Amino acid sequence: MGVHENLSLGLVGFGAFGKLVARELGAHFDLVVSDPAYVGAVLEDGRAFATGELEEIAACDVVVLAVPVARMAHLCEKLGPMLRPGTLVLDVGSVKLGPMQVMEEHLPRDVDIVGTHPLFGPQSAQGGVAGRKIALCPLRGARWRVVAAFLRRLGLEVIVTTPEAHDREAATVQGLTHLIAKVLSDLGPLPERMTTASFDLLRDAIAMVKDDPPTVLHAIEAANPYAAGVRDAFFARAEKLRTQFEA
Amino acid sequence: MGVHENLSLGLVGFGAFGKLVARELGAHFDLVVSDPAYVGAVLEDGRAFATGELEEIAACDVVVLAVPVARMAHLCEKLGPMLRPGTLVLDVGSVKLGPMQVMEEHLPRDVDIVGTHPLFGPQSAQGGVAGRKIALCPLRGARWRVVAAFLRRLGLEVIVTTPEAHDREAATVQGLTHLIAKVLSDLGPLPERMTTASFDLLRDAIAMVKDDPPTVLHAIEAANPYAAGVRDAFFARAEKLRTQFEA
């Protein structure tokens, strides 16, 4: 048994983002994956990971919850009683207030909890995560510092923040991107030939988010308490602009 | 007098885009600049060009009109009678149907005319024009082929098209970029910290066009006959989306 023996990491959820977690962390931890929707846990590049039930996840040193925000409460209720003291639990949801309240409520007091929101996805991190950003919300325990240091070693820019500050800013960042993507994608195929540099950027931005799954849209548009305010402001401004053009 | 003696190029207009023309073409032609708003014609890098009245512009081998679209008719009426047979005249307006009709009407039949729309500006061509796009509409004479070949040697992607096809596509490309820039810029300063890659692209796109002068906005929003249709479609879709979110 060498001094560099890997910690075990239990990953719940092997959807688009769970796969990205496995791709990036598979070399650093002994991974165990749990997702009832998959028989095995195999990446596109052929790498296969051990799979297990929630009991085996709960026995890991680190547990990462990569499930839709709407499933967090159910998962934490089941998982909570199985966890051992000293386990470190992280989530990766696009919204932080709700999921972190759920973790605080349902996970035992003797586990450490860190909320994260990787500000990237399978599209934008296609070439790797170096240079991408991740929001980190410490909740319970001091090991968020170890997590932050580890993520920085992966090349990530770590933004330490609170759930409220996160949700407020993410509502603008992700809300506006998705609103604009929705408006434009419904206008039909966008021009590709006679384009300006600024339009090319706009089209690239939309291409990155237009295939986001409904679970991500739910987190951004419904689970974030500040999303409705951003939408209202956007639509009000559009309406004001329409009136100006008509005048 | 060597065989590589430069052609003379008369540049009317030394605004933001005229300066860009001078910056890119100053080494290839003997430039004469005419702009009543400037006493001299000096670039930020210190390069100075000869200046002259319209008569001196009209005596050049090539004439480039870099004035606001709304001033094209007045300029062509004055300049037309001064031009010599065989002169090559080009414009650089963001809309092509109107300005090219003006040139056809007011410039003598024995000068060649080529309409162009450089699909870039001082922002997007800050690092040079190589790799940028330019639309080119042949109108009179065969020398548009020489122009296209020259522009390609500068590294530009030349898109040969008609004024109508140009205006139709540009209405979408530039119209949407500017509409979105207007909606977002009025929402206050955009987040810069907790941003996704797609939002960064969106913000970069807006930064490129938000300082466009009113003359460019006029060309895009009023002089392009297809602009209103693009706006109507954008606002209709935004309204539909608002209703969906409220339901």
Average pLDDT over residues A223-239: 95
A86 exposed, middle or buried (CB, 10 Å; 0-12, 13-18, 19+)?
exposed
* A49 SS3 class: strand
| Domain end (from B126, B161, B196) | B161
Report the residue from B169, B201, B228 with minimal CB separation from A201. B201
Query: A4-49 pLDDT, tens per residue?
Result: 578 999 999 999 999 999 999 999 999 999 998 888 899 999 999 9
Judged by a CB distance cut-off of 8 A, whether residue A211 touches chain B is: no
Residue B245: list chain A partners with CB under 8 A. Answer: 221, 228, 231
Report the residue from A123, A133, A234 with minimal CB separation from B183. A234
Instruction: Output the average pLDDT for chain B.
Output: 94
Encoded tokens for B180 = 């979105």
**pLDDT score of B211 more than 90:** no
Which pLDDT score, from 0 to 100, does residue B40 have? Answer: 87
B133 & B229 share domain: no
CA distances, A110 to each of A58, A173, A178, A192 (Å): 13, 34, 38, 55
| Domain end (from A161, A178, A197) | A161
Minimal CA separation from B241 to chain A, in Å: 7
C-beta atoms of B159 and A233 within 8 A? no
Type of residue numbered A156: L
B141: left (phi over 0), alpha (psi -120 to 50) or beta: left
B18 & B97 share domain: yes
Which pLDDT score, from 0 to 100, does residue B4 have? Answer: 56
Alpha-carbon gap, residue B10 to B49, rounded angstroms: 11
B192 & B113 share domain: no
Judged by a CB distance cut-off of 8 A, whether residue B44 touches chain A is: no
Minimal CA separation from A63 to chain B, in Å: 24
Instruction: Output the average pLDDT for chain A.
Output: 94
**pLDDT score of B3 more than 70:** no
Quickly state the pLDDT bin for A2 (edges 50, 70, 90).
Answer: very low
Query: B68-125 pLDDT, tens per residue?
Result: 999 999 999 999 999 999 999 999 999 999 999 999 999 999 999 999 999 999 888 9
C-beta atoms of A187 and B238 within 8 A? no
Q: B88: domain CATH number?
A: 3.40.50.720
Q: Say if A2 falls within a structural domain.
A: no
Q: For chain A, give me the number of helices (H) and strands (E)?
A: 9, 9
Q: Say if A127 falls within a structural domain.
A: yes
Report the residue from A180, A193, A245 with minimal CB separation from B202. A180
The share of chain A scoring above pLDDT 70, in percent, equals 98
Residue A245: list chain B partners with CB under 8 A. Answer: 221, 228, 231
Which pLDDT score, from 0 to 100, does residue A123 have? Answer: 86
Query: B40-72 pLDDT, tens per residue?
Result: 899 999 999 999 999 999 999 999 999 999 999
Query: B145-176 pLDDT, tens per residue?
Result: 999 999 999 999 999 999 999 999 999 999 99
In B88-147, the residues whose Cβ lies within 8 Å of chain A are 119-121, 123-124, 132-133, 135
Minimal CA separation from A67 to chain B, in Å: 20
- B39-48 long-range contacts, CB within 8 A, separation 24+: B41/B14, B43/B19, B44/B19, B47/B22, B47/B23
Encoded tokens for A102 = 């759920």
C-beta separation of A89 from A111 below 8 A: yes
Q: Say if A50 falls within a structural domain.
A: yes
A92 & A150 share domain: yes
Judged by a CB distance cut-off of 8 A, whether residue A199 touches chain B is: yes
Residue B124: list chain A partners with CB under 8 A. Answer: 196-198
Alpha-carbon gap, residue A97 to B73, rounded angstroms: 60
Report the residue from A133, A208, A237 with minimal CB separation from B187. A237
Residues 6+ apart with CB under 8 A from A5: none
Q: Say if B1 falls within a structural domain.
A: no
Instruction: Flag the least confident range among A228-237, B55-64, B213-222.
Output: B213-222
B47 & B95 share domain: yes
B173 & B144 share domain: no
**pLDDT score of A3 more than 60:** no
A181 & A154 share domain: no
Domains of chain A: total: 2
Judged by a CB distance cut-off of 8 A, whether residue A164 touches chain B is: no
Which pLDDT score, from 0 to 100, does residue B2 have? Answer: 43
B220 & B126 share domain: no
Q: Say if A3 falls within a structural domain.
A: no
| Domain end (from B161, B180, B196) | B161
- The boundaries of the domain holding residue A189 are 165-246
A134 & A119 share domain: yes
Quickly state the pLDDT bin for B1 (edges 50, 70, 90).
Answer: very low
Residue holding tokens 């009426």? B77
B146 & B213 share domain: no
CA distances, B52 to each of A29, B39, B136, B141 (Å): 73, 10, 27, 27
Average pLDDT over residues A124-153: 96
- CB–CB contacts below 8 A, A to B: 161
Judged by a CB distance cut-off of 8 A, whether residue A169 touches chain B is: yes
A187 & A154 share domain: no
Q: Which of B230, B190, B243 is nearest to A176 (CA)?
A: B190
Q: Say if A1 falls within a structural domain.
A: no
Residue A182: list chain B partners with CB under 8 A. Answer: 241
A132 & A223 share domain: no
Q: Say if B3 falls within a structural domain.
A: no
Judged by a CB distance cut-off of 8 A, whether residue B176 touches chain A is: yes
| Residue B231 DSSP code | H
Total count of residues recorded for chain A: 247
Residue B201: list chain A partners with CB under 8 A. Answer: 201-202, 204-205, 208
- Of residues A2 and A154, more confidence is placed in A154
